[in-house]
């Protein structure tokens, strides 16, 4: 049996034994207006106060976003988050790319993920490198003695 898995941009064709049972997810309807839903969620979090009310223009902000391997609509969500942070100087906002153990994202990938306006703005964009110990701060151990940043 040949099936196409949802993988990457174009899917991944695979051959499976004919007796394989395919279990499909139940998809929910798309939102009528994604942008409004994103704004509403950020402005009215389930618990706590909204982002704009919890910061001051003097704060330094770090935002973590997924790397290119995750199907997160960063290009849609990040502009809404940044609009809530409009009182903060863009040079005080750092965008961290959570690469994990993956390679760093290229400039082309970053521009595609973040959108040209954000990529070209004055935000500092940092590709996290889990293997570069010079760029990692040791936070000590947890209360149970486990290293927060294992060496």
pLDDT in tens, 13-46: 999 999 999 998 898 998 899 999 999 988 888 8
Q: Residue 60: is its pLDDT beyond 70?
A: yes
In CATH, what number is assigned to the domain containing residue 90? Answer: 3.40.50.11440
Confidence of residue 148 (pLDDT cuts 50, 70, 90): confident
How far out from the chain centre does Cα 63 lie?
A: 8
- The pLDDT, as a whole number, for residue 25 is 87
Is the overall model pTM greater than 0.95, yes or no? no
Q: Is 3 within a domain?
A: no
Q: Residue 74: is its pLDDT beyond 60?
A: yes
CA distance 133 to 108: 26
Q: Is 8 within a domain?
A: no
Q: Of 128, 108, 129, 135, which is closest to residue 120 (Cα–Cα)?
A: 108
Domains held by the chain: number: 1
Domain containing 37: what range? 33-135
- The pLDDT, as a whole number, for residue 150 is 53
Q: Is 79 within a domain?
A: yes
CA distance 63 to 74: 11
Q: Residue 12: is its pLDDT beyond 60?
A: yes
Q: Is 89 within a domain?
A: yes
Q: Of 98, 68, 71, 86, which is closest to residue 123 (Cα–Cα)?
A: 86
């Amino acid at each position: 049996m040949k099936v196409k898995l949802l993988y990457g941009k174009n899917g991944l064709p695979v051959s499976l034994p004919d007796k394989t049972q395919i279990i499909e997810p139940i998809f929910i309807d798309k939102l009528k207006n994604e942008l409004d839903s994103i704004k509403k969620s950020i402005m009215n979090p389930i618990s706590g106060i909204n982002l704009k009310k919890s910061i001051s223009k003097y704060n330094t902000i770090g935002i973590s976003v997924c790397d290119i391997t995750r199907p997160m609509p960063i290009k849609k969500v990040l502009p809404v988050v940044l609009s809530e942070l409009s009182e903060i100087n863009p040079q005080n906002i750092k965008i961290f790319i959570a690469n994990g153990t993956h390679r760093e994202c290229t400039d082309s990938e970053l521009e595609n993920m973040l959108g040209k306006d954000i990529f070209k703005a004055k935000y500092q964009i940092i590709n996290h490198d889990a293997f570069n110990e010079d760029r990692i701060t040791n936070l000590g151990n947890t209360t149970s003695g486990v290293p927060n940043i294992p060496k």
